[in-house]
C-alpha cells in the first residue's frame, strides 16, 4: 500500500482528468464572463409568460445557462475538494457560487409570473407554441407550487440572504479535512498521520489498542470543536426552518417531501418496517461480537471484518474485479463502465488536505467525476463499484434525455450504485479465490444493508 504525503506525489493515472471541463484557467474565466453576460439577458424576458413564443425563448436561454453554470460550479467544486485550503480554488468556487446566486436572482420573477396565470391561460400556451411541449413536465412541476412561491421581490431577497449566509457545509468540510490536526499513531515502528481520508483503514487494524488510540485521538480533536460544529448545525437547521415557514410549509420535512413529490406515508412505512425488524440488526451485532471474540463492542471495533480476509487490492485489480462482477448487466453496461477507467473520471488516492469520503458529481452535459480515498481493501473496491454505478447511470441519463430532464431525483439515485455493490458481493461469494475472500463477499453485502438501510433510516 502506497502512502502519499501530497497530491503532487500521486501518479497522474490515479488522478481525475478535468480537461474536458476547461483546458486552462483562462478558459474557465472566459466561460464565467460569458455566462455572466447571458444572465443579464434574462432581464429581457420579464413578461415572457404572456407570450408562448417568448416563454419558449426564455426556457431555451435558461437551459443553456443551467448547463454552463453547472459546468463552472462542479469544476470549481472538484478542484477545491482535491486539495482543500488552496486560495485559487477557493476563489473559483466562490465566484461560481456568486454566479449561481446572480442567476437565481435574475430568474426570481419567473415562477411567480407563471403562477399568476389562470389554468386556462396556462393551457393555451402549449397550443400557441407546440415547441413548449418539450418543457411541459418542468412547467407543470413549477405550477403545482402555486401556494408556496412568493412574489419576485421576496424570492430575490431570500436568494441573496441564502447566498450570503448558508455556508455551513463548506465551513464544516474545511475544518474537518484541512484545518484539524488529528495527530499521529505509531504502527509497526512507523509514524502514521491520522486523517479523515485514512480513518477507516486505521480502524481496521487488528491491534485493538491501536484502534482505540486512533479513535480516541480523532474524537478528542472533534470534541475540541464540538461547540463550533453544533453552532454550524444549529444555523443550518434554523435557516431550513425559516425557509420552510416563509414558503408556507409546516416544516422543512414537509417541504422536502413536497419537492420530491413524495407522500409522507412512504417515509413512515419505511421507518416502521425497519423498526419492526431491528431483531435482525441486533442478531448481526451478536454474531459480529462473537466472531471478534469480544465480550463488549466499542465504536472503534465496528469497522473490523468478520471474514478475516487480509487481501489487498491494487487499483487495477479493483477495476478488473468490478468489470467481472458487473457482467450480468451486459456488454453495453460494461463498455460504459470502461469509460470511467479509460477517461480518468476517478480521483483515487488519499493524502493530507484532500476532502474525505466518496461521491460522484455530475453536470447536465458532462460525465461525472468520482472522488474517493482508495485504501486497497474491499471497502474501497465496493466504493468504486458504488460511485461507478452513479457515473454509468448518468451516462445513460445524458444519452436518453434532454438537458432539462437529466437531474436524477434523490429517491432513485442510489438504485444503480447499490445494484453494483450487490453484484460485486455476489461475485466474490461465488468466485473468491479463498474461503476468506468468499466470506468477505457475504460480509460486504451485509455491510451494504447495514449502512444503506438501517444506517440511512437512522440518519433520516
Q: With a cut of 80, say whether residue 177 has pLDDT above it.
A: no
pLDDT band at 65 (very low <50, low <70, confident <90, very high): very high
Between 164-173, 254-263, 271-280, the lowest mean confidence (pLDDT) is in: 164-173
* Mean pLDDT for all residues in the chain: 91
Q: What is the mean pLDDT of residues 137-156?
A: 80
Question: Is 273 within the bounds of a domain?
Answer: no
Q: What is the mean pLDDT of residues 33-56?
A: 96
* Count: domains in the chain: 2
In the prediction, which pLDDT does 213 show? 95
Question: Is 302 within the bounds of a domain?
Answer: no
Dump pLDDT digits (tens) for 370-385: 999 999 999 999 999 9
Residue where one domain finishes, among candidates 124, 139, 165: 165
Q: With a cut of 70, say whether residue 315 has pLDDT above it.
A: yes
Q: With a cut of 90, say whether residue 454 has pLDDT above it.
A: yes
Rounded Cα distance between 95 and 101, Å, is 10
Question: Is 200 within the bounds of a domain?
Answer: no
Question: Is 52 within the bounds of a domain?
Answer: yes
Residue where one domain finishes, among candidates 165, 194, 225: 165
Q: What is the mean pLDDT of residues 144-168?
A: 72
pTM for the predicted model, two decimal places:
0.83
In the prediction, which pLDDT does 214 show? 94
Q: Which of 137, 107, 110, 129 is nearest to 51 (CA)?
A: 129
Question: Is 278 within the bounds of a domain?
Answer: no
Q: With a cut of 70, say whether residue 165 has pLDDT above it.
A: no
In the prediction, which pLDDT does 372 show? 96
Residue where one domain finishes, among candidates 118, 142, 165: 165
Q: What is the mean pLDDT of residues 449-459?
A: 91
* Selected residue with higher pLDDT from 203 and 158: 203
Q: What is the mean pLDDT of residues 145-158?
A: 74
Question: Is 241 within the bounds of a domain?
Answer: no
Half-sphere exposure at residue 428, Cβ-oriented, CA atoms within 13 angstroms? 27
Question: Is 292 within the bounds of a domain?
Answer: no
- What percent of the chain is predicted at pLDDT more than 70? 98
Dump pLDDT digits (tens) for 399-417: 999 998 998 887 788 999 9
* Selected residue with higher pLDDT from 459 and 29: 29
Q: With a cut of 90, say whether residue 363 has pLDDT above it.
A: yes
Q: What is the mean pLDDT of residues 81-89?
A: 92
349 and 8 Cβ atoms separated by less than 8 Å? no
Domain residues for 142?
Answer: 20-165
Q: Which residue has the cell 460486504?
A: 444
Question: Is 60 within the bounds of a domain?
Answer: yes
Dump pLDDT digits (tens) for 292-313: 999 999 999 998 988 878 899 9
CATH of the domain at 38: 1.20.140.70
Amino acid at each position: 500500500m502506497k502512502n502519499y504525503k501530497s497530491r503532487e506525489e500521486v501518479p497522474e493515472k490515479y488522478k481525475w482528468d478535468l480537461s474536458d471541463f476547461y483546458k486552462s484557467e483562462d478558459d474557465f474565466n472566459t466561460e464565467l464572463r460569458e455566462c455572466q453576460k447571458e444572465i443579464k439577458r434574462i432581464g429581457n424576458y420579464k413578461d415572457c409568460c404572456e407570450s408562448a413564443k417568448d416563454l419558449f425563448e426564455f426556457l431555451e436561454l435558461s437551459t443553456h445557462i443551467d448547463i454552463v453554470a453547472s459546468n463552472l460550479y462542479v469544476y470549481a467544486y472538484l478542484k477545491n475538494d482535491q486539495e482543500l485550503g488552496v486560495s485559487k480554488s477557493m476563489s473559483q468556487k466562490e465566484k461560481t457560487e456568486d454566479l449561481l446566486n446572480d442567476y437565481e436572482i435574475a430568474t426570481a420573477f419567473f415562477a411567480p409570473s407563471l403562477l399568476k396565470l389562470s389554468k386556462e391561460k396556462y393551457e393555451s400556451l402549449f397550443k400557441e407554441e407546440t415547441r413548449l411541449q418539450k418543457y411541459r413536465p418542468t412547467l407543470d412541476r413549477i405550477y403545482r407550487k402555486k401556494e408556496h412561491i412568493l412574489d419576485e421581490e421576496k424570492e430575490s431577497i431570500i436568494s441573496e440572504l441564502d447566498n450570503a449566509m448558508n455556508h455551513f457545509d463548506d465551513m464544516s468540510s474545511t475544518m474537518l479535512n484541512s484545518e484539524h490536526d488529528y495527530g499521529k499513531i505509531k504502527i509497526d515502528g512507523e509514524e502514521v498521520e491520522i486523517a479523515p481520508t485514512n480513518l477507516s483503514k486505521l480502524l481496521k487494524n487488528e491491534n485493538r489498542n491501536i484502534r482505540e488510540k486512533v479513535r480516541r485521538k480523532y474524537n478528542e480533536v472533534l470534541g475540541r470543536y464540538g461547540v463550533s460544529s453544533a453552532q454550524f448545525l444549529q444555523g443550518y437547521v434554523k435557516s431550513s426552518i425559516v425557509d420552510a415557514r416563509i414558503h408556507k410549509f409546516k416544516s422543512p420535512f414537509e417541504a422536502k417531501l413536497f419537492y420530491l413529490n413524495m407522500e409522507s406515508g412512504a417515509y413512515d412505512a419505511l421507518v416502521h418496517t425497519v423498526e419492526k425488524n431491528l431483531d435482525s440488526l441486533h442478531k448481526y451485532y451478536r454474531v459480529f461480537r462473537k466472531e471478534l471474540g469480544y465480550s463488549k463492542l466499542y465504536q472503534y471495533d465496528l469497522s473490523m471484518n468478520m471474514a478475516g480476509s487480509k487481501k489487498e487490492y491494487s487499483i487495477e485489480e479493483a477495476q478488473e474485479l468490478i468489470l467481472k462482477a458487473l457482467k450480468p448487466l451486459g456488454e453495453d453496461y460494461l463498455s460504459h463502465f470502461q469509460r470511467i477507467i479509460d477517461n480518468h473520471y476517478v480521483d483515487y488516492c488519499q493524502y493530507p488536505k484532500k476532502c474525505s469520503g466518496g461521491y460522484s458529481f455530475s453536470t447536465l452535459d458532462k460525465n461525472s467525476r468520482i472522488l474517493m480515498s482508495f485504501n486497497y481493501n474491499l471497502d474501497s473496491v465496493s466504493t468504486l463499484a458504488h460511485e461507478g454505478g452513479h457515473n454509468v447511470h448518468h451516462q445513460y441519463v445524458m444519452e436518453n434525455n434532454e438537458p432539462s430532464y437529466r437531474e436524477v431525483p434523490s429517491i432513485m439515485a442510489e438504485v444503480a450504485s447499490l445494484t453494483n455493490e450487490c453484484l460485486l458481493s455476489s461475485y466474490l461469494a461465488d468466485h473468491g479465490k479463498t474461503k476468506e475472500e468468499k466470506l468477505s463477499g457475504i460480509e460486504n453485502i451485509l455491510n451494504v444493508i447495514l449502512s444503506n438501510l438501517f444506517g440511512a433510516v437512522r440518519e433520516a
